[in-house]
Amino acid sequence: MPKKEISNKVETNTLAIGLMLEEFEILEVLGQGSFEITYKARDTHLDVIVVIKEYMPNQFALHTETFEWGMQKFLDEAEVLRKFDHTAIVKVLKLFKANGTAYFVMDFYEGETLGDYLDNHRHKKFAQDEVLSVMIPIIEGLKAVHAEGFLHKDIVPDNIFLRIIRPPILINFGASKNALGVESENISAIIKHGYSAPEQYFSNLQQDSSTDVYAISAVIYKMITGVRVVESTHRQSDLFNDNDDPIENIVLQYQDKFDKSFLETIQKGLSLKQKDRIQTIAEFQRGLLHEEDVSLLEIPNDKDSSGNTIYLFIIMLLLVVLGYLLLSEETKPREDTKREQNSSLYIVSKWIIPTDKSCKANGGEIEEGICKSNWDKAQKICSANNGRLATIDELKEVIKLCGGINIEYSDVGFSTSYKNIANKPYQACYKKEGFAYIHNFWSSSTYADNDTHAWFVDFAFGYANFDDRNYPYSVRCLPIGE
């Protein structure tokens, strides 16, 4: 994460550079908010760089009862985050108490926040593909979070981190800060002007998934217009006084540059009333991608007899066409046969899935049914299963044969990295081959310029990149001799 400016006043409240905090050596202060301080540190056991977040609310640190209550919320949130293993959600590695407060440790990534990027490119207006390449991973992460009954509550450009070698990631979840702000009657400390939905300004109003939808819509609005959404309470005031909504009607203003459904989805996501907003992040994603509306496939009303007759005629015609297609299909070579001729890698049965027992016995862990380990242990796990790790070229071949584009993520811009995400046949293909959406898979190939790093593949984006061999990635093996 990029270093932030820290005032002298803040510096006096921070841990000293070089201090040992359990096995972590504090290297520098990355930033400080109203409730926490963030550090860059080194794990001296693994010799890797990490981020440490310290619970330190600056306005009532001396109020023991409130401080203790907030610290528990801080740890509760970290515990929830630790359960997630998603490419778009910051990974919590450890949490502990020390120095009369609490800490949790996260992965460190090179890159910058979307907020920093926007500040450094003030005249930048994102194209639709560029928006999607940033936001689709974030939306996928939010879907996983919402599925567990959890909200982010602090989606702003500064909390979307653009990693150099991996897709964007959500950081700085705001649930505990939100609860602490309400408890301390300090709502102003948790409000993000231009991104907070109206219900976040009042402690007695219920927040739900549409609260995050409002915030993510506001982020996209900023990306495509170059300006921040007017504060939601000011918008309410203008409408109450019979004035027009002060934000742009993006459907009218940008219809020549973006798909209409894309713009309408954002506009609806910015509705002030929760009931008028898009209700789920999955629905929001479908709108952005203009996926087919299921309601268009509904059977007509039985009371409309003329419409019913036409409908039956269409069904009969479709059945005739379908019969023709099925008959003609018999004369074509089977697609599976073509695939087998192209590459033996393209057959699920050729891949070895390590057993849970062999995975754990050789230092791996099972997460969501998939064996994960660092690179060296991955080699041992495959060997224990009479197999080997695939080379990076063999993994790239799977991407190619599934119809994807091989990408080296650090060498491309926003729009290129989106192409495989938008390729629905490709997305279905690699999943059919048994490679999970939210996992990166180790190859046996080390990085030429640095043998402490090895290549991996993220099949969702179809890109190959290299990472520290100590990082835990997913393990699949090929039979020895294949």
**Position 249 pLDDT exceeds 90:** no
Boundary of a domain, candidates 107, 139, 162: 107
Final residue of a domain: which of 332, 367, 384?
332
311 pLDDT exceeds 50? no
Q: Which helix (H) or strand (E) holds 477?
A: strand 477-479
**The model's pTM:** 0.67
| 144 and 79 within one domain | no
| Residues sharing a CB contact under 8 Å with residue 70, sequence separation 6 or more, in sequence order | 35, 55, 57, 176, 179, 180, 183, 184
Residue 417 lies in a domain: yes
Which stretch, 172-176, 381-385, 464-468, has highest mean pLDDT? 381-385
> 244, 279, 245: which is closest to 265 by C-alpha?
279
Which of the four pLDDT bands, split at 50, 70 and 90, describes residue 293? very low
CATH number for the domain that contains residue 220: 1.10.510.10
Q: Are residues 275 and 313 in the same domain?
A: no
| Residue 2 located in a structural domain | no
pLDDT at 415 over 70: no
CATH of the domain at 68: 3.30.200.20
Is the pLDDT at 324 greater than 50? The verdict is no
- What is the DSSP code (8-state) at residue 63? -
Residue 180 has what pLDDT?
47
Does 95 share its domain with 146?
no
What is the distance between the alpha carbons of residues 387 and 332, in angstroms, rounded to a whole number? 36
Whether residues 274 and 126 share a domain: the answer is yes
Same domain, 277 and 309: no
Report the pLDDT averaged over residues 43-47. Answer: 91
The residue among 240 and 29 whose pLDDT is bigger is 29
Mean pLDDT, residues 239-261 taken together: 84
In the structure, what pLDDT confidence band is assigned to residue 432 with cuts at 50, 70 and 90? confident
Instruction: State whether 67 and 148 are in the same domain.
Output: no
pLDDT of res. 71: 86
pLDDT at 2 over 60: no
Residue at 221 is within a domain: yes
Give dist(CA 317, CA 335) in Å, integer.
27
> Does the pLDDT at position 50 exceed 90?
yes
Q: Given this model, what pLDDT does residue 216 score?
A: 95
CB under 8 Å, gap of 24 or more: what pairs does 179-184 form? 179/70, 179/73, 180/35, 180/57, 180/66, 180/69, 180/70, 180/73, 180/74, 183/66, 183/69, 183/70, 184/57, 184/59, 184/60, 184/63, 184/66, 184/70
Domain range for 312? 305-332
Query: Is 296 within the bounds of a domain?
Result: no
Sign of CA dihedral 137, 141, 144, 147: negative
Asked whether residue 366 is assigned to any structural domain, the reply reads yes
Same domain for 103 and 125: no
Band the pLDDT of 223: cuts 50, 70, 90: very high
43 and 126 belong to one structural domain: no
57 confidence band (pLDDT: 50, 70, 90): confident
298, pLDDT greater than 50: no
394 and 445 part of one domain: yes
Confidence of residue 175 (pLDDT cuts 50, 70, 90): low
* Residue 3: how many other CB atoms lie within 10 Å: 10
Tokens 């203790």, located at residue: 68
Over the stretch 186-214, which tens digit does the pLDDT of each residue have? 444 466 788 888 888 877 778 888 899 99
Query: What length does the chain have?
Result: 482
The total number of structural domains in the chain stands at 4
* Residue 244 domain flag: yes
117 and 253 both lie in a single domain? yes
**Statement to judge: residues 142 and 263 lie in one domain:** yes
Average per-residue pLDDT in the chain?
Answer: 78
Q: How confident is the model at residue 34 (pLDDT cuts 50, 70, 90)?
A: confident
Between residues 468 and 21, which one has the greater pLDDT?
21
Per-residue b/e over 14-39, b at no fewer than 16 CB within 10 Å?
bbeeeeebeebebbebbbbbebbbbb
Average pLDDT over residues 350-368: 89
What's the pLDDT score for residue 124?
Answer: 87
User: For a pLDDT cut of 90, what percent of the chain falls above it?
Assistant: 27
Alpha carbons 255 and 88: distance in angstroms, whole number: 30
The whole-number pLDDT of residue 157 equals 92
Residue 257 lies in a domain: yes
Residue 330 has pLDDT above 60, yes or no: no
Give the N- to C-terminal CA distance of the chain in Å, as an integer: 41
The reply to whether 186 falls in a domain is yes
Residue 456 and residue 349 share a domain:
yes
pLDDT at 460 over 70: yes
Please report the DSSP string for 403-440 in residue order: T---EEGGG--HHHHHTTTT-HHHHHHHHHTT--TT-E
Q: Give Cα separations from 457 to 213, 351, 435 (angstroms).
A: 30, 15, 10
> Could you give phi then psi for residue 139, rounded to 5 degrees?
-65, -40
